[in-house]
Amino acid sequence: MATAPRITPTPIIAHQIQNVLAFRTKPGAESIKGGQTIELGTVEVNEFQKVRLVCDERIGSTCNILVRMTIMEGNELVALLDQVLLTPHAQTTRVYDVPGTQLSIAIDGIGAANTQGAVDVLLYGQY
């Protein structure tokens, strides 16, 4: 009786996934008044396969906050990638395939001029 030849399995090489903090607002949150817009910064994302947006509006805020991420090329704002509306004490996280080389991150205070909010915005990149 013949035996089947032994086949050596091909080893699977594990790909190390790395996550890095690419951007964050200042510790203690970014404060904004209703009706105000703040450009938080520009982030180079061309090295990443994916990015994760994490944002949290602080308890005690009296206005909503709109977080906007816009695709950029050079100094030009090209197209809105996404916008996230946060209410006081709300949080969200979203993952995006990297859409380009740079992202602009901005916030808008949504409410009357006598209201204010505070938000933490973090962007993680994944290699």
Say which CATH number the domain at 88 has.
Answer: 2.60.120.260
Would residue 11 count as lying in a domain? no
Helix (H) or strand (E) holding 7: none
For residue 54, the model assigns a pLDDT of: 98
Query: Measured at the alpha carbon of residue 51, what is the angle toward residues 35 and 71, in degrees to the nearest 5?
Result: 55
- Specify the number of domains making up the chain: 1
For residue 95, the model assigns a pLDDT of: 97
Would residue 8 count as lying in a domain? no
Would residue 6 count as lying in a domain? no
Structure confidence by residue, pLDDT tens digits, 91-110 = 999 999 987 899 999 999 99
Whole-prediction pTM? 0.85
Structural domain span for residue 55? 19-126
The CA–CA distances, whole Å, from 82 to 7, 10, 23, 39, 69 equal 50, 42, 17, 15, 5
